[in-house]
């Protein structure tokens, strides 16, 4: 990923076809030693390709991936059963939060 990031930085700066030495120079500026084999693999994969077209193609592919943000809504319950149905759900959520504390650490500790 770091090799691709360096390649993209160079392309953004106007270098349409960054070389291995260009990428090594960018990486060494931030204290990263470049592995020749991985760098050559990246360059061979990107050789002769337009980076803007690759980004557009990748964005189109990502747009088709479901993100899980929208789920099916539950049917509304009858007025009398709504209060009874909500209470057990709240208890289960509280139990789940307590179980995280039992492990000795939390998500944001």
- Is the confidence at residue 14, as pLDDT, over 60? yes
Structure confidence at residue 24 as a pLDDT band (50, 70, 90): very high
Task: Give the C-alpha separation, 82 to 91, whole Å.
Answer: 15
Q: What is the pLDDT of residues 47-73, one digit of tens each?
A: 888 888 888 988 888 888 887 765 555
Please, what sign has the CA dihedral across residues 59, 65, 68, 70? positive
In Å, the largest CA–CA distance within the chain is 72
Which two tokens mark 101? 């504390």
């Amino acid at each position: 990923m770091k090799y691709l990031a360096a390649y993209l930085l160079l392309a953004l700066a106007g270098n349409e076809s960054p070389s291995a030495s260009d990428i090594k120079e960018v990486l060494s500026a931030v204290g990263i030693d470049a592995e020749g084999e991985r760098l050559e693999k990246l360059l061979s994969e990107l050789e002769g390709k337009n980076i803007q077209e690759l980004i557009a193609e990748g964005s189109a592919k990502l747009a088709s991936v479901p993100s899980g943000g929208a789920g099916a809504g539950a049917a509304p319950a009858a007025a009398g059963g709504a209060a009874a149905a909500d209470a057990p759900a709240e208890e289960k959520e509280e139990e789940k939060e307590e179980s995280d504390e039992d492990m000795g650490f939390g998500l944001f500790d």
